Every structure is written in C-alpha cells, then in structure tokens.
Amino acid sequence: MKLYFLILFLFLINSPVFSQSDESNDTATSLTDSVISNVNDSLVAQSDINGIINYSAVDSAVFDFKTDKLYLYNNAEVTYQDLKLNSGIIIIDRETQILEAIGIPDSLDNNNIVQLPLMFQGETKYEGSILRYNFKTQQGTVSMGYSDAEIGYYFGEKIKKVDSDIFFIKNGIYTTSTNKEDPEYYFLSPEMKVITDDKIIAKSVFLYIEGVPVFWLPFAIFPDRGGRSSGLIPPTFGDDATYGQYISKFGYYWAINDYLDVNGLISFFTRGRIDFSSRFRYALRYNFTGEVNAGYSRIRLGDDQDFNKFSSDEYLFSLVHSQSINPTTQLNANMTFVSGQSYYDNSSNNLNQLLRQNVISNLTLSKFWEGTPFSLSLNYSRDQNLVNGDIRENLPAVLFSNSTTFPFRDNNTTSFNSGNFYEYISYSYNGNFQHRRTKLNFVNSFSRDTTVRDSRLGFAHNVNLNFSPPSSNINITPFFNYTELWYTKSVIKSFNPIDSTVTTTDVEGFKPVRYFNTGVSVNTKLVGIFNPQIFNVTGIRHTITPSISYSYRPDFSNPSFGYFGTYVNQFGTEVKYSFFEREIFGGAPSGEEQSVNFNLNNLFEMKIKENDSVDNKFKLIEINAGAGYNFAADSLKLSELRTNFNTQIGQILNIGGSASFNFYKFDPVKRTRVNIYLWDSENKIADLTNFNINASTSYNFEFSNRENENDTLNRNPKEIEYFIPFTGTLNYNYSESKFDPLNVFRSSNLSGNLQFNLTQKWKLTFTASYDLLNKQINAPYITAYRDLNSWEANFNWYPTGSFKGFRFEVRIKAPQLQDVKITKQTSNRGVFGDF
C-alpha cells in the first residue's frame, strides 16, 4: 500500500496537470492496481506543459497507465491556455505530449463521421478529419481541414502549424465564399504559407470559378487581415476593341506605416500601349492629409507604313493636400497637371472626366488674426483648357482683407451709443495683388500653330464706407465705394487704313486707375397675418420686403480722367477703347450712372396644426421682382423687369422659375431694342424676353404580393412571392429666349433616373434625358448589377452618343480582393466607342 501511494505521488508531480470538469462522466476510478503497477520510469521526467489541462467527455475519460495515454470519448472537450478543442475522440499521449483528435461514426450510419475535431486557439478556428497538436512545441497538423482567416477561410489536405502564427498547407484552397461545401470560386495551390493576421502566400495558383480553372499565376499573396496591408495588387484581365487584350493595373501596395502608403500599377496592352500610375497618400490626424497621383500612358499604334499610325505620350500629376498649421492658419491644395484631354480619353471610364473641358488647380495659404478684422491669403491658381491647350496662371495672388469695422465704436461696450451718430459709420477694405501669366494657342492666317505668351501685374484696392443708423421700421444706409487699380502696363490702339486693321501695342510704365460710386439704400419689412381657421390651417403669413436704392457714378470715359482713348475706323467712326482692357481687373467703367433700383420680395407661409401641441410651418411660395432706371443714360433708361419664384408642394414636387420683361420696342432691321416704349408703339407694357420653369420630384414605391401577417394562412403556397422596390427622380425644364423675336430659342427637356431591384440580387438603373422639341433621347445610360454571392457583376451601357459603348466587369466582392476582376469593354481611343 505504501508503494501504491509512492508511485501515485511520483506520477502526480511529474505529469501534466489535468483538471476534470464537473460534467464529465469520468471512469478513472475504475482503474485497477494492475494498471498502476505498470507505471514506468519516464514518469519522473519533468513536464514541458505550463498550466492546467481541463477535460471532459460524455461517455468516458480513461487513463491507460500502460500506454501512458488519456482517452476521452463522445463530445470530448479539452482546454489548455487559449486552446479549446471539441471532438468525438481525443487522445493525449503523456510521454510524447501529443494530442490527437478524430470523429466518431454516426450511430445511425457508420459511413458518416460526426463530431469532427473543432479547435479554437485565440480567435483562430480549425476544423478537419484528424487533428494533432504537440503541447511541447505548440505545433500541430490538421488533415482534410480548414480554418477561418480574417478575410475568408482556407482549407487543405494537411494543415501544419510550425509557429504560433505560421502554418503550412498542402494542396490548399483559399476563398471568401460563404458556401464552404461548394464555393463559387477558390484559389488552389499545392503549397500555401499562412501568417496569421497578416498574409497568405501561395505558389502555382489556379483560380477556379464554379469548378472550372480560369487562369494561373506563378504566385499570389492574399491579405489575411482587414484594413491596410502591403502586398501585390492582382491585375484585371480583359479585351479592348482598340488596344487588344490587356493585363491592367498589376502592381504592389505598400502600407509604409499608419500614416503613409503608396502603390504602383502597370497595364500592358497587346496593341502598342503601356500605362503606369502611382498613388501616394499621407495623413496625420488633426494636422494634415494629402494624396499625390501620377500617371503616364505611352501609345504606339501602327507602323511607319501604316496610314492610320498613331503615337502619343500622355501624363497626369495631381496633388490634394489639407493642413491645419495652427488654429488660425490653413494650407489647402487641389492641383492637377495633365498633358491634355487625350489622357482622360485613353485612361478613364468616368463620364465627367471624359466630358470636362477645363482643369482648374488651386493652392491657398490662408491666415486670420483672432480678435481682429484682418485676414491674409496667398494663392496660386491655374486654368488649363483641355480643348485648345490655353493656360492661365495666377502666381502669386495675394489678398488682404479688413472685414467690416466700426472705427469710432468703443471696444469696451457691447452696444452702440445712440447719442453719437459717427459710431454707426463702418468701413471694409480688400487689397488684391495678382501676377497673371497666359499661354494661348491658335492657328494664324497661314494655318500655322501659334503660341502667344503674356504676363500682367495688377493691384486692386477696394474701400467701402457705410452709415447704418438704427431704425425700428425703415433701414436707411448711405454708402460710398472707392476702387483704385495699379498696373505696370497699358495699351494704345491705332488704325491702319491700308489694310483696315487695328494694332494694339503694350506701353510699359506705372498706371493708376481710380473710380467710385456712391448712393443710399432703403428697405423695410411689412407683415400681414390671416387666420382662416379652416381645416387644420391656423394661420397664413404674408411678408413683403420692399427695397429701393439710388447710385451715382460719373462717366470715367470722359477724356479729363485719362482712362480711355479713341481712334477712327474705316467708316470714319470714332471708336472709344480703354487703355486697360487687357489688364487683370480691367479699367474704369464707362458711362455716367444715376440709377434707381427697385426690388420687391413676397413670401407666403402657412401654419398647420398637427396635434394639440405641435404646429407645422412651411413655405407656400416666394416671389421676387426687381427693375431699375438710369437717369443719366442717353437711351434705354429703364432696365428689364426680372422676376423669379419657387414653391414646394409637400415633399412631392419642387417648382421654380424666372422671367424677364423688356419695355422697349424691337427694331427688326437693326435686330436690337430701340429707345421707344412698347406702350407708345404697340399699346402693350412689355415683351417677354426670357422665361424658364423647372419642376422636380423624387419617388419611392414598390410592387409586391406580400400579404399581411393575418392573411398568411390563406395564401396559396404555390404562388411565388415577389417584392420590387422602385426609387428615382424626375425633372422637367422648359426655357425660352426671345431677346430677338425673330430668332427665338426654346428648349424642353425631361430627364430622370429609375432604379429598382428586379430580384433580391438583380438591380437595374436607367438614366436618360428626352428632348421634347427635337423628339430625341440624350445621353441614355443603363446599368445592371448582379449579386453573385461571393462575386458581383456590373454592366454599364451607353446606347448612343459620343461615348457609345459598354463596359462589363465581374469582380470578387471582398474589399481586399476587389482587384481580382475580369473586364470587357468597347473602345475608340477611349473606354467607350463603337461596337
């Protein structure tokens, strides 16, 4: 008996520590003395297991002293540190410290194996037919098993764990399909290496779609974690009508750190085209963000003997940057430099880029001084015309601003002293310095391409003075506006009677321009309220805001000011011109002005009682009208009457419009308005010269045979249930221009889009515009989307127009694998073209 306790003591202190769970039906108490007497000396060896191993089993847990193994049967479970294993049978060899798990035959079908090994280690899951794990090395293998990755899952003939986060897979498969039994697609490789929460590396990779091999790659790297991860970017394969078959956007993405990343892409076409592109991004939270893009496209179509030979080298460089240097200083940039429109034609499938005619770039550093009215901005701007190649640059542009300031107001008080009128005097100042450079391209009379370069400097000063005395009903505000312009150039024009041409010559030298206008404005507000007390209407309010202003400006084209010159043309007519017509801010205005301007705004609002405590107020309609009269004009003193309105009918329909009326007679011979009022010549007040009205609505409805829950029992089980939601917008616009009654321009267009789910996985979108006058469809655009479970398909079609064509694309839905796609498109030196 003493020998029994001695052997048992030695076994306990030298063996792994097993802790049996309460729910286990352990039969260890049935072990006989004969088993214990066969314990060998290896029990004395020191164990390499750190921690307690807990186990349980439904049927039995038996320790065989002869083989030094623990057997767990039926729904067996073992937990050790972060490892948890469930299986039909679990065997732990104490001597080798190796665990083995297998399933058990189904009690109803011996050919069906159930309770297959399922192991969790941390957040990693492993499943298979046979699982082995070494407690000493913490390595293991899974036969015919699979494991979840953070993105998708992988399985193979054999999975071997060689480190805490490294696995090797024999004949492995990787997929993101949700159908584990029969995945729609998968990548097959004879050898895979998995680095947990990092990447999956495979060589000799085949992509299978519905069991059919589609293409082969010598190797592939798949991300095994969400977010940013360095690795190869799989290419897109497709066929282009112009450039042939291609491998597009194959490259590498490098997540440098949490603040920087960069990618590089290359595209090959079989018909003489190669593209390069790169994107570099950077960000530091609360400080700055930015992105740099560069692209180059080289095209060589045809050989030297080919009549249709085409060659081009196109490039693009863009920068977007936003930075908060400090709470009062901002730096923002949005700059694009492109070789021309052909870059977008060859490289883009974005309709907005294909249609754009200008590329505008801006770089701005702005600063304001807290507690003061002062602000300063430095700006670089660039306007590139993609059609003719003209470029206009401002480098630099400096704007200094002093916002509205009351110079005579006591800074220590929060309100005006009504006893001192001068405290209501305010001023503002804006100084604008610009250096403008232009490069203009045109074809001269000899059909030669000509480039003209020019450079101009200008400095504009604007000072505004206002006097705003307090008033309870009527606001009266006198004002005075002064502008001074500084230039380093001016022009002189001369007429050559020999060839009847006008020559414009630049004259160097500092030239100032000064002009002003002054006046007074008066406005008030009248409110009328009507309480009809019908239905739920509790009130209607009509707000009238009339305003009138008078403005005076002398005629700065008078020779005494020295801002205008004259020359006599071939008809003997004296032509007046401004010395500063080429300058950045122009010259002084011509013609005296003594004008009175009228404006009347009408706003109608209604209040509806929703319930006892809530009233809903909304706008019925707003109508605005304005006109002016210039007493100093030599003719056409009365300006056009301009009106506009807008209204909204609930949440259903928005309606707006505008109209212009002219009070003077139109001369059909001179094709212009003459100084004769219509009421004197034609007994009518005015002619309608411009009219526009637009209406828009959005809708959301559905077709469905879904029944109420109460009618479910009465439903025909053979009837197919359908549910088709529709959403879209509809816009109508009509415009009419009748300034020249003999040449009236009209347009009437109906546009809209419709989107609906034909089935749960089919989505269709139609976008088009219909010209009601010419009876033709403009820019129709049709898209079809199909959810293919793990894949998605997009079909975009432009049936007519300049960019007639289609683009079909199938890609993997998983965000980290969306570059795995197959594309087919038509092209004619662009993404879209003739079929």
- Residues 81-104 have pLDDT tens digits of 888 899 999 999 888 888 999 999
Paired strand residues for 147: 126, 154
Q: What is the pLDDT of residue 140?
A: 80
- What SS3 class is residue 423? helix
1-137 — its CATH code?
A: 2.60.450
CA distance 99 to 136: 11
Q: What is the mean pLDDT of residues 272-282?
A: 93
Among 139-143, 223-227, 308-312, 690-694, top mean pLDDT goes to 690-694
Check whether 799 has a pLDDT greater than 50.
yes
Task: Please indicate whether residue 542 or residue 418 has the higher confidence score (pLDDT).
Answer: 542
Alpha-carbon distance of 156 to 194, in angstroms, equals 12
Please return the burial class of 821, using the count of CB atoms within 10 Å of its CB with bins 0-12, 13-18 and 19+: buried
Backbone angles phi, psi at 125, to 5 degrees: -115, 135
**pTM above 0.75?**
no
pLDDT band at 444 (very low <50, low <70, confident <90, very high): low
Say whether pLDDT at 25 is over 60: no
Rounded to whole angstroms, how far apart are CA atoms 281 and 266?
18
Is the Cα dihedral 190, 193, 194, 198 positive or negative? negative
Length of the chain: 835
Report the helix count and the strand count for the chain, using DSSP H and E: 5, 50
Query: What tokens does 828 get?
Result: 């004619």
What integer is the mean pLDDT of 132-153?
75
Give the closest residue to 432 by CA, choosing from 393, 398, 482, 394: 398
Q: Assess whether pLDDT exceeds 80 at residue 390.
A: yes
Confidence of residue 194 (pLDDT cuts 50, 70, 90): confident
Q: Spell out the domain ranges in the chain.
A: 1-137, 153-226, 472-639, 664-825
CA distance 442 to 448: 8
What is the chain's mean pLDDT, rounded?
82
DSSP assigned state of 559: T
Model confidence band, residue 554 (pLDDT cutoffs 50, 70, 90): very high
Rounded to an integer, the average pLDDT of 643-670 is: 92
| Distance of alpha carbon 593 from alpha carbon 632, whole angstroms | 5
pLDDT score for 149? 63
Percentage helix, strand, coil, to 5, in the chain? 5, 60, 30
How far is 278 from 267, CA to CA, in rounded Å?
Answer: 12
Q: Is a pLDDT exceeding 60 seen at residue 323? A: yes
Mean pLDDT of 69-83: 88
At residue 198, φ and ψ (nearest 5 deg) are -140, -75
- Residues 675-713 have pLDDT tens digits of 999 999 888 999 999 999 999 999 887 777 655 555 555
Strand partners, 453: 439
Instruction: For 575-603, write each residue's pLDDT tens digit.
Output: 999 999 999 999 999 999 999 999 999 99
Work out the percent of the chain whose per-residue pLDDT is above 70: 84
What is the average per-residue pLDDT within 714-736?
78
What pLDDT sits at residue 14?
40
Question: Could you tell me the pLDDT band of residue 246, with boundaries at 50, 70 and 90?
Answer: confident
Mean pLDDT value across residues 238-246: 81
Torsion of CA 19, 20, 23, 27, to 10 degrees: -170
What DSSP assignment string belongs to 83-143?
A: EEEEEEEEEEETTTTEEEEE-EE-SS-TTSEES--EEEETTEEEE-SEEEEETTTTEEEEE
Instruction: Report whether pLDDT(573) > 80.
Output: yes
**Among 91-95, 467-471, 795-799, which is the least confidently predicted range?**
467-471
Count of beta carbons in the 10 Å neighbourhood of residue 13: 12
Residue 716 is predicted with a pLDDT of 58
458-462, 598-602, 775-779: which has the minimum mean pLDDT? 775-779
Highest mean pLDDT among 177-181, 540-544, 615-619, 801-805: 540-544
* Cα dihedral sign, 34-37-42-45: positive
Average pLDDT over residues 346-350: 69
**45 pLDDT tier (thresholds 50, 70, 90):** very low
Written as one letter, the residue type at 262 is: V
Percent of the chain with pLDDT over 90: 38
Res 258 pLDDT > 90: no
Of residues 733 and 219, more confidently modeled: 733
SS3 712: helix
Neighbours of 110 (CB within 10 A): 8
**Which uninterrupted H or E stretch holds 2?**
helix 2-14
Mean pLDDT check: name the lowest of 38-52, 180-194, 276-290: 38-52
| pLDDT score recorded for residue 5 | 33
Q: Which range among 538-552, 770-784, 815-829 has the greatest average pLDDT?
A: 538-552
From the list 174, 171, 206, 175, the residue with the least C-alpha distance to 191 is 171
